[in-house]
């Protein structure tokens, strides 16, 4: 092992965007493998990621979907661990998580485990990457799974977006084709397909094209030892990296829509492709991107066309290296013209005056290892200062004439072409003619409010409490990445149309949220059965101004809009519904306005703001309550047709919202998930999505048992789920003392002490809201919620889990069925 450059470990971590106090070391082993170890002291889990520098653009054109199939095949058994689904079972027993992804130029597998399981987890990860077993029968089954996934995703706009994006690429380039894979694109001769799979793996899955990344609380030296020892088992190789040609055709535009366009769904993407050499200008590009997202463009467009979303990114999906803006809605050509004109002017402004000091991105500990691994596997040096960077930034690549346009357009009388494979409707869309620019709006101003001296007292205290408002101050915990101050505010809100109201609130907040982010501040708004709420963090002198403007943006009522509907697989949408479900959840309409100020803030200004909010709430007319499908009392809900698959989901509510109930349902999900997946998919062949997932709604725990199938009707799926719980539910919950202890350790790695200050604030705020909803509320600040949770888990006997499984199998728990039948 050799260190490629002598940058101190803490400085390398800072440059790579890790939290303060972290250490990072990179090296390349003798077999060519790139490794990176990141010690993050506050992390609970050990993240392990294996990345291969090969993706779907590298697969042969006559076997599209091969890279996707290989990703699936890696989980069907390896030389050291030959049973299909063995990794899922092993990780589930330890309370961990796993996933995999194949994108354009990279394939990765990522595991989340407790630190004590990192050694064996890394051994299993390396074995599946290096020595997969390609059993023909199992591969044939996975081809059927991929085929079912493809047909289900024909209802997902994201698949059609990628298909339309291909029309902007050069003839003959693989990016013009759909690479999701299905029966018609994969070889139908199974022995030959297995041979091609084996050859694709042999050519690309070797150490010279791979990276292993580990992030977690283990000491840096221990991580490097594990990575070096296990990484040496990966086969060396000298296959040169694929020559990836420039994908883009000449600048132009494409309009598209799905085969059955959803009313109101529209968006516009403006794309400036960038060559690989522009990676040396990452800081300058980040400054340009930050200027485009400083709130000025959002405020200008929102005033003219009621803009809902404006995202600016240097990592757009399906585009390689590019700077892209995504705006919605884009309902007609006049709106597109206004957007294009404003964005071009904003780009000129950003190139002339990029944001001098772009705000540091908040470290995402889940996403960081994969992003870092992708760059390392591709041979990019992430932490070395680029001494040979050219002085002149690549402005020419961001000129107006280099922009490509992708418009998700509503169906119109225009003549559309249709892509045979996906059914995507598309046509060439010339850029609209230039028109007079929109009058520019300044971004929302966050005025500075002078603060008094910091008392330095972090102990929680409640300076104000009555029937109208309750204000807490204090900072029970402060981690290394803590902002200067934070302010959380919550208030009772009508249950009717809450989803629409929150969507409208987020739309109203768009310019403010961007203006705040450009100054290193963050604001998050949400709602549940206890009301609506927000969390704001950042500079103490501007915090009151940010929250006051955010509260002013809150709408007391809003109407649902068609483009607010979720996308993705039906099973994923159903699981998302659990997070807002009202099953077994009592509303708390009588709660006062609740606030919590931490850090160096002005409690007097916060109290005055809360008074004004309380006056506004008392003066406004009550919103008429309308029952929603989730509030129905029926034990079966039939969803309106949203795709071509059948789906059944059993929702199970916990007995209450205590830590004990939350842990019991988490444990039961762990015990059931791998076995449920195996029985529904492998044994019964019912569907290609079969999972058990834990969710919470306002702190109330629930489970979702969901199966999505292209051919089996919901009634049969429902019966299969019920049969599983009756036959296996109790048996799988019979844990020995050793098994229970192992699962406890794994769960604490997920739900122990917070990893970031943002997580700590969110947990403390929700615990405070639960406390305030009690009648009468307890007076003192409650213990740190993760400490109370840990105590509850430590005292949980295995018999309690078995009793819960027995109650579920006997139908004694509150539950509800969600069913979907296609038209």
SS3 labels along 292-359: HCCCHHHHHHHHHHCCCEEEEECCCCCCCCEEEEEEECCCCHHHHHHHHHHHHHHHHHHHHCCCCCCC
Q: Using CA atoms, how far apart are residues 685 and 682, in angstroms rounded to an integer?
A: 5
Decide: helix, strand or coil at residue 66: helix
Q: What pLDDT score was predicted for residue 563?
A: 57
Same domain, 424 and 514: no
Of the candidates 398, 301, 292, 403, which has an alpha carbon nearest to the alpha carbon of residue 354? 292
Mean per-residue pLDDT, 475-482: 89
Q: What is the pLDDT of residues 634-672, one digit of tens each?
A: 689 998 887 788 999 999 999 998 899 999 999 999 999
Same domain, 473 and 600: yes
Residue 433 falls inside a structural domain:
no
Q: Which residue has the higher pLDDT, 359 or 345?
A: 345
Q: What is the pLDDT of residues 73-120, one digit of tens each?
A: 999 999 999 988 888 889 988 888 899 999 999 999 999 999 999 999
Long-range pairs for 23-29 at CB < 8 Å and ≥24 separation? 23/220, 24/220, 24/383, 25/220, 25/224, 26/376, 26/382, 26/383, 27/1, 27/2, 27/3, 27/224, 27/228, 28/1, 28/2, 28/4, 29/1, 29/207, 29/228, 29/231, 29/232
Of the candidates 3, 24, 48, which has an alpha carbon nearest to the alpha carbon of residue 230? 48
Residue 287 falls inside a structural domain:
yes
Q: What is the pLDDT of residues 492-531, one digit of tens each?
A: 998 888 888 999 999 999 999 999 999 999 999 999 888 9
Residue 414 falls inside a structural domain:
yes
Beta-sheet pairing, 322-328 with 253-257: unpaired
Of the candidates 329, 353, 349, which has an alpha carbon nearest to the alpha carbon of residue 341? 349
Instruction: Give first-to-last CA distance, the chain, whole Å.
Output: 60
Same domain, 682 and 789: yes
Same domain, 487 and 540: yes
Confidence tier at 742 by pLDDT (50, 70, 90): confident
Q: Using CA atoms, how far apart are residues 542 and 548, in angstroms rounded to an integer?
A: 10
Q: Using CA atoms, how far apart are residues 132 and 228, in angstroms rounded to an integer?
A: 21
Q: Which of 257-271, 455-469, 598-612, 807-821 has the highest mean pLDDT?
A: 807-821
Q: What pLDDT score was predicted for residue 564?
A: 52
Structure tokens at 559: 């109407």
- Whole-model pTM: value is 0.91
Q: Using CA atoms, how far apart are residues 269 and 404, in angstroms rounded to an integer?
A: 8
Confidence tier at 239 by pLDDT (50, 70, 90): confident
Structure tokens at 621: 């007319």
Q: Using CA atoms, how far apart are residues 314 and 546, in angstroms rounded to an integer?
A: 27
Beta-sheet pairing, 34-39 with 23-28: antiparallel
Same domain, 588 and 551: yes
Same domain, 502 and 410: no
Q: Is the pLDDT of residue 161 over 90?
A: yes
Same domain, 469 and 585: yes
Q: Is the pLDDT of residue 625 over 50?
A: no
C-beta of residue 213 within 8 angstroms of C-beta of residue 231? no
Q: Which of 564-578, 612-626, 738-752 has the highest mean pLDDT?
A: 738-752
Residue 685 falls inside a structural domain:
yes
Q: What percent of the chain has pLDDT over 90?
A: 64
Same domain, 274 and 337: yes
Decide: helix, strand or coil at residue 143: helix
Q: Using CA atoms, how far apart are residues 190 and 186, in angstroms rounded to an integer?
A: 9
Q: What share of the chain is helix, strand, coil (3-state, %, to 5)?
A: 40, 20, 40
The lowest-confidence range among 155-164, 280-289, 584-593, 733-742 is 584-593
Alpha-helical segments (H) within 332-452: 333-352, 367-377
Of the candidates 34, 32, 39, which has an alpha carbon nearest to the alpha carbon of residue 9? 39
- CB 5: neighbour CB atoms within 10 A? 10
Q: What pLDDT score was predicted for residue 589?
A: 61
Q: Which of 287-296, 689-698, 776-785 has the highest mean pLDDT?
A: 287-296
Q: What pLDDT score was predicted for residue 284?
A: 93
Q: What pLDDT score was predicted for residue 390?
A: 57
Q: Using CA atoms, how far apart are residues 427 and 563, in angstroms rounded to an integer?
A: 22
Same domain, 724 and 795: yes
Q: What is the pLDDT of residues 537-555, one digit of tens each?
A: 999 999 999 999 999 999 9
Of the candidates 611, 596, 605, which has an alpha carbon nearest to the alpha carbon of residue 451? 605
Residue 81 falls inside a structural domain:
no
Task: Name 796's Cβ contacts closer than 8 Å, sequence gap at least 6.
Answer: 660, 663, 664, 667, 744
C-beta of residue 735 within 8 angstroms of C-beta of residue 801? yes
Residue 729 falls inside a structural domain:
yes
Of the candidates 761, 348, 719, 702, which has an alpha carbon nearest to the alpha carbon of residue 536? 761
Structure tokens at 281: 């200008």
Q: Is the dihedral of CA 599, 603, 608, 611 positive or negative?
A: positive
C-beta of residue 118 within 8 angstroms of C-beta of residue 226? yes
End-of-domain residue from the set 383, 409, 428: 428
Output the CA–CA distances (angstroms, integers) from residue 300 to 158, 356, 510, 630, in the order listed: 28, 22, 11, 37
The total number of structural domains in the chain stands at 3
Q: What pLDDT score was predicted for residue 432?
A: 81
Q: Using CA atoms, how far apart are residues 138 and 194, in angstroms rounded to an integer?
A: 10
Q: What pLDDT score was predicted for residue 542?
A: 93
Q: Using CA atoms, how far apart are residues 459 and 419, in angstroms rounded to an integer?
A: 63
**For the stretch 86-114, what's the b/e string if a residue is b when 16 or more beta carbons lie within 10 angstroms of its beta carbon?**
bbbebbbbbbbbbeeebebbbbbbbbbbb
**DSSP 8-state secondary structure symbol assigned to residue 781:** P
Q: How far is CA 512 from the centre of its chain?
A: 23
Residue 727 falls inside a structural domain:
yes
Q: What pLDDT score was predicted for residue 632?
A: 43
Chain length of the chain: 823
Same domain, 605 and 753: no
Q: Residue 719: enclosing H or E segment and its boundaries?
A: helix 714-732
Q: Using CA atoms, how far apart are residues 158 and 467, in angstroms rounded to an integer?
A: 48
Residue 504 falls inside a structural domain:
yes
Q: Is the pLDDT of residue 628 over 50?
A: no
Q: Is the dihedral of CA 65, 66, 72, 76 positive or negative?
A: positive
- CB 366: neighbour CB atoms within 10 A? 15
Confidence tier at 590 by pLDDT (50, 70, 90): low
Q: What pLDDT score was predicted for residue 6?
A: 59
Q: Is the pLDDT of residue 556 over 90?
A: no
Structure tokens at 349: 């402004």
Same domain, 609 and 642: no
Q: What pLDDT score was predicted for residue 733?
A: 92
The parent domain of residue 660 ranges over 634-820
Same domain, 278 and 416: yes
Please report, for the domain that includes residue 543, its CATH number.
Answer: 3.30.830.10
Long-range pairs for 584-589 at CB < 8 Å and ≥24 separation? 584/653, 584/654, 584/700, 584/702, 584/814, 585/529, 585/653, 585/697, 585/698, 585/700, 586/529, 587/495, 587/529, 587/530, 588/492, 588/529, 588/530, 588/531, 588/773, 589/492
Q: Using CA atoms, how far apart are residues 312 and 327, in angstroms rounded to an integer?
A: 9
Q: Residue 801: enclosing H or E segment and its boundaries?
A: helix 798-809
């Amino acid at each position: 092992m050799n260190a490629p450059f002598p940058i101190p470990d803490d400085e390398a971590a800072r440059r790579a965007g890790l939290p303060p106090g972290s250490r990072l070391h990179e090296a390349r082993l003798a077999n060519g493998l790139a490794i990176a170890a990141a010690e993050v002291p506050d992390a609970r889990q050990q993240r392990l990621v294996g990345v291969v520098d090969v993706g779907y653009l590298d697969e042969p054109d006559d076997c599209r979907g091969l890279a996707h199939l290989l990703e699936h095949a890696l989980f069907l058994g390896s030389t050291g661990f030959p049973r299909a689904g063995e990794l899922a079972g092993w990780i589930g027993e330890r309370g961990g998580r796993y996933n995999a992804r194949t994108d354009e130029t990279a394939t990765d597998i990522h595991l989340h485990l407790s630190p004590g399981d990192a050694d064996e987890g890394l051994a299993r990860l390396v074995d599946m990457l290096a020595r997969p077993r390609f059993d023909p029968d199992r591969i044939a089954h996975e081809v059927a799974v991929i085929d079912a996934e493809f047909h289900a995703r024909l209802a997902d706009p994201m698949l059609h977006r990628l298909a339309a994006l291909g029309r902007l690429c050069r003839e003959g380039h693989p990016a013009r084709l759909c690479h999701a894979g299905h029966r018609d694109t994969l070889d139908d001769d199974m022995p030959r397909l297995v041979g091609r799979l084996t050859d694709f793996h042999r050519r690309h899955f070797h150490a010279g094209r791979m990276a292993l990344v580990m992030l977690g609380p283990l000491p840096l030296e221990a991580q490097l030892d594990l990575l070096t020892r296990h990484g040496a088992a990966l086969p060396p190789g000298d296959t040169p990296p694929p020559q990836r040609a420039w994908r883009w055709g000449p600048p132009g535009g494409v309009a598209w829509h799905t085969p059955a366009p959803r009313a109101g769904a529209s968006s516009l993407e403006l794309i400036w492709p960038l060559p690989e050499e522009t990676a040396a200008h990452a800081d300058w590009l980040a400054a340009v991107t930050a200027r485009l997202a400083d709130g000025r463009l959002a405020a200008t467009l929102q005033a003219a066309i009621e803009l809902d979303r404006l995202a600016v990114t240097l990592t757009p999906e399906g585009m390689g290296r590019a700077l892209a803006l995504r705006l919605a809605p884009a309902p007609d050509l006049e709106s597109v013209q206004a957007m294009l004109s404003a964005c071009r002017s904003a780009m000129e402004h950003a190139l002339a005056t990029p944001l001098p000091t772009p705000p540091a991105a908040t470290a995402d500990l889940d996403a960081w290892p994969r992003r870092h691994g992708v760059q390392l596997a591709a041979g990019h040096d992430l932490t070395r200062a680029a001494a040979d960077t050219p002085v002149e930034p690549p402005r020419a690549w961001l000129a107006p004439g280099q922009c490509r346009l992708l418009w998700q357009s509503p169906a119109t009388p225009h003549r559309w072409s249709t892509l045979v494979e996906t059914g995507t409707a598309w046509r060439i869309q010339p850029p609209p003619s230039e028109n007079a620019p929109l009058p520019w709006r300044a971004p929302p101003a966050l005025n500075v409010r002078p603060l008094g001296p910091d008392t330095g007292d972090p102990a929680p205290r409640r300076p104000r409490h009555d029937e109208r408002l309750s204000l807490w101050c204090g900072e029970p915990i402060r981690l290394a990445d803590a902002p200067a101050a934070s302010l959380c505010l919550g208030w009772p809100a009508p249950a009717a149309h809450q989803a629409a109201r929150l969507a409208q609130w987020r739309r109203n907040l768009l310019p403010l949220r961007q203006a705040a982010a450009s100054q290193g501040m963050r604001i998050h708004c949400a709602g549940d059965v206890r009301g609506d709420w927000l969390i704001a963090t950042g500079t103490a002198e501007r915090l009151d101004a940010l929250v006051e403007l955010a509260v002013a943006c809150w709408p007391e009522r809003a109407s649902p809009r068609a483009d607010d509907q979720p996308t993705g697989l039906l099973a994923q949408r159903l699981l998302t519904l659990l997070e807002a479900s009202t099953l077994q959840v009592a509303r708390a309409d009588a709660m006062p306005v609740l606030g919590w100020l931490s850090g160096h803030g002005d409690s007097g200004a916060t109290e005055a703001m809360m008074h004004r909010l309380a006056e506004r709430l008392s003066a406004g007319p009550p919103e008429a309550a309308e029952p929603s499908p989730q509030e129905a009392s029926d034990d079966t809900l039939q969803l309106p047709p949203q795709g071509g698959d059948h789906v059944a989901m059993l929702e199970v509510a916990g007995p209450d919202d205590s830590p004990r109930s939350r842990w019991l349902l988490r444990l039961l999900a762990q015990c059931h998930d791998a076995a449920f997946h195996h029985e529904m998919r492998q044994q019964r062949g019912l569907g290609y999505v079969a999972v058990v997932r834990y969710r919470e709604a306002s702190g109330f725990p629930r489970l979702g048992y969901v199966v999505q199938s292209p051919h089996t009707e919901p009634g049969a799926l429902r019966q299969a789920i019920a049969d599983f719980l009756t036959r296996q539910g109790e048996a799988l919950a019979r844990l020995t003392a050793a098994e229970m202890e192992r699962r406890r350790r794994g769960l604490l790695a997920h739900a122990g002490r917070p990893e970031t200050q943002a997580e700590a604030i969110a947990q403390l705020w929700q615990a405070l809201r639960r406390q305030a909803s009690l009648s009468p509320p307890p007076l003192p600040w409650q213990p740190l919620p993760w400490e109370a949770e840990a105590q509850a888990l430590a005292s949980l006997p295995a018999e309690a889990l078995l009793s819960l499984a027995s109650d579920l199998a006997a139908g004694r728990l509150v539950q509800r069925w969600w069913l979907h039948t296609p038209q």
